[in-house]
Structure 1
Amino acid sequence: MNHFDEAATRAPLGFDRLVPALRAAFAAEARVPPRHVHAIEAAGSKGTVLIMPAWSDAGFLGIKTINIFPGNSAQGLPGLHATYVLYDARTGVPLAMMDGNEITARRTAAASALGASFLARQDSRRLLVLGTGRIARMLPAAHASVRPIDELWVWNHRPEGAEALAAQWRAEGWNARAATDLEAAVREADIVSCATLATAPLVRGAWLAPGSHLDLIGSFTPAMREADVQCFAGAHVCIDTEEALQKSGDLLDAMAAGTLRAEDVRGTLATLCRSEQPGRPNEAGRTVFKAVGSALEDLTAATLVWQSSDIG
């Protein structure tokens, strides 16, 4: 079995390649069984383990194992750790072990940008990022591949984390600053992208400006949520996959409150990429994209890594 470390996994996954690859993958066919979810409690720590398989007619089978431990931040550790194994789908022979953290972060940011390519206004230039983790750090580059982003704001529950990330982005050439007043920053943003592990709403629907796009990619269980129920009221809502309706605390809360009905969801990435349903209906309306992640995205990224290598 071949091994791709973090750098080797990252190299082929520029967003100029990955976002179009995801668009093509969602427009095509693949088998993506429901993920396995297991709650873990050991030595006083609590976490979640996800096992996510997928395979395609291209002849690849992939399985990602991802461990999420929100309490890791108190120990100075990332809250997410993942591994990815790619197999030959025709024989089951293992082909490669890849850095699952890099695949997860890059495909999540790319899916966020893919959603925005259908739902954010064409002239969206001001991006507000909630969170400072691995995925949050990639969102400017991902969104700039589909929209003319030239102003960045970042908010975090730890202000020093937001200041540090804003400084890093400035060093990379972005016009970036930390937001201390979340409400004010949300009101001014064209795109609000949430990449957190929050369990209580951070963004309020009353704050969102007409014509804005709300991107929710952090929460992925019924116990997690980043937006209050009013964020969905009157908005054009799309999701990454139908699984989001069962797994997203944001959506479950909104449906329980009556600000969203399942039948009012306007599309998935598959139906959007196949042009079966439209994206943004007009310039003035609000849009929301809610993603819980799909093993198809992981398989697409891993396939790109494998096919871009000398051995693939």
Structure 2
Amino acid sequence: MNTTIPYITDDFINENCDFIGLIEALKIGFSNADIEVPMRHHHDFSNPKEEKDSTLLLMPAFNPGNDLGVKIATVSPNNGIYNLPAIQGMYIYLDGHKGFIKAILEAKSLTAKRTAAASALASSFLSRKDASSMLMIGTGALSINLIKAHTSVRPIKTVYVWGRTLEKSQKICDNLKNEAFKCIAIDHIEDKISEVAIISSATLSPTPLVLGKWLKKGQHVDLVGAYKKDTREADDEAIKKSNVFLDTYQGGLKESGDIAIPLSKGILSKETIKADLFELCSNIKSGRTSDSEITLFKSVGHALEDLVAASYFYKLFQK
């Protein structure tokens, strides 16, 4: 009996990811009522050398009789100064019948791919079908994945990239120079945010970067950063002007200041949130209903996404 556990690397995941296939797998996963997902463990812990807390995340999910898994991840916001990603971890993928470990997957790229695919899945319901332009706010590990995922579901011809420095933004564009769309680095968010069809933001900014005063009718806003209750990427006016959607009610209502703060202020209520991905993918509720509405999707991540992505890459690895 071969007791060697397959180890699926970031390189394999990066080289074999087809966003169209992964997005479809997530759509099926979110419409599968059998998958069980307990509330993830979210533990902030002190990091004295950085004078800023880090976070430990434990994210289990079960597809009874088929497979299950758990992601162990850490978030260290200051890792950029050490040339390390902010999010690091491993995914343990197991057999749902006998409980043995089927594979261990590096979680950096797994997380980036599934997060980007979830945003693009939401965009397929929420952005205008003719969306041809996009602004990417942030230049971290997620940015290239979000751009590739969004451009796989909409006919995007031009992508603008903003980061803390123009040099970082240009580096993203250089990495995408062979894609079918044009990629342009910009100095200021307000230069293009009012013109684009899709705005995607993935930053660790503690204060809003997407301001409601800049938003125009028909836009779609995709918020992926701000993973703590006291941080946010969009301001109150952006929430007021938008129809709000979540990846899941389970985490989305509690884990990010983008939703938790407006809820606490009475600017937003659970009843006014339009839908989550479970409801959209199961056709229980509708996404965009007019070309003029502003839609806003908040993603905090969900263990179902990790399990579906682990299964997707495991099957590719077995071929």
Pair 1:218–1:58, CA change in 2 (3 A): farther
Q: Which residue of 2 aligns with 1:159?
A: 166
1:3 match? 7
Report if the CA contact (8 A) 2:193-2:214 is conserved: yes
Tell me, in whole angstroms, the C-alpha distance in 2 between the residues paired with 1:251 and 1:165: 29
Q: Residues of 2 paired with 1:158 and 1:50: CA distance?
A: 30
Q: Deviations over 1:66-123 (max 9, x none)?
A: 1111111122221111211101122221111111011100000000000100000011
SS in 2 for 1:148: coil
2:197 to 186, 190, 199: 190
Once residues 172 and 119 of structure 1 are traced to their aligned partners in structure 2, the CA distance between those partners, rounded to angstroms, is 24
- Partners of 1:113 and 1:203 in 2: how far apart? 19
Paired position in structure 1 for 2:43: 38
Q: Structure 2: how far apart are the matches of 1:309 and 1:79?
A: 26
Q: Take 2:262 and 2:186, find their aligned partners in 1: how far apart are those partners? A: 27
Partner of 1:238: 245
State the match for 1:24 in structure 2.
28
1:221 matched residue in structure 2? 228
1:247 is matched with which residue?
255
CA distance in 2, matches of 1:241, 1:260: 16
What TM-score do you get using the length of structure 1 for normalisation? 0.96
SS at match of 1:186: coil
Unaligned runs of 5+ in 2: none
Q: Of 257, 260, 269, which residue of structure 1 is paired with 2:277?
A: 269
Q: Once structures 1 and 2 are overlaid, which stretch shifts more, 295-304 or 53-62?
A: 53-62
1:131 aligns with 2:138: yes
Give me the whole-angstrom Cα distance separating, in 1, the residues matched to 2:207 and 2:217: 24
Offset, 1:145: 1.5
Q: Which residue of 2 aligns with 1:303?
A: 311
Q: Does the Cα contact within 8 Å between 1:40 and 1:47 map onto a contact in 2?
A: yes
**Could you tell me whether the CA contact under 8 Å between 1:167 and 1:177 is conserved in 2?**
no
Deviates more, 1:270-279 or 1:256-265: 256-265
Deviation by residue 1:141-168 (Cα, 9 ceiling, x = unmatched): 1011211011000011222211221222
* Structure 1 CA distance for aligned equivalents of residues 173 and 15 of structure 2: 24
Kindly indicate whether residue 122 of structure 2 is the aligned counterpart of residue 115 of structure 1: yes
Give the 3-state SS of the residue equivalent to 1:201 in structure 2. Answer: coil
* Amino acid of the structure 1 residue aligned with 2:268: L
Identity of aligned residues (%): 34
What residue in structure 1 maps to residue 299 of structure 2? Answer: 291
Counterpart CA distance in 1 for 2:14 and 2:172 is 20
Structure 2 counterpart of 1:211, which letter? Answer: G
2: CA distance, partners of 1:13 / 1:116: 19
Q: Deviations over 1:206-226 (max 9, x none)?
A: 101110000001222202211
Shift of 1:171: 4.3
- Residue 146 of structure 1: which of 150, 153, 175 is its match? 153
Q: Check conservation: 2:243, 2:274, Cα contact below 8 A.
A: yes
- Three-state SS of the structure 1 residue aligned to 2:104 is strand
Runs of 4+ in 1 over 3 A off after TM superposition: 171-174
CA shift, 1:44, in A, is 1.6
2:230, 2:261 within 8 Å by CA — same for their partners in 1? no
Note if contact 2:212-2:241 (Cα within 8 Å) is conserved in structure 1: no
Between the aligned partners of 1:110 and 1:179, the Cα distance in structure 2 is: 25
Give the letter for the 1:40 counterpart. F
Question: How far did 1:58 drift?
Answer: 5.3
* 2-structure distance, mates of 1:88, 1:32: 16
Residues 230 and 254 of structure 1 are in contact (CA less than 8 Å); yes or no, is this contact kept in structure 2? no
8 Å contact from structure 1 (residues 140, 149) kept in 2: no
Question: 1:14 offset after TM fit, Å?
Answer: 1.1
Partners in 2 of 1:127 and 1:42 — Cα distance?
36
The 1:145/1:58 distance shift into structure 2, 3 A limit, reads farther
**Which one of the candidate residues 103, 128, 140 is aligned to 2:110?**
103
Give distance in 1, aligned partners of 2:48 and 2:205: 23
Quote the Cα distance in structure 2 between the aligned partners of 1:224 and 1:299.
27
Aligned to 1:66: 73
RMSD (Å) for aligned C-alpha atoms: 1.4
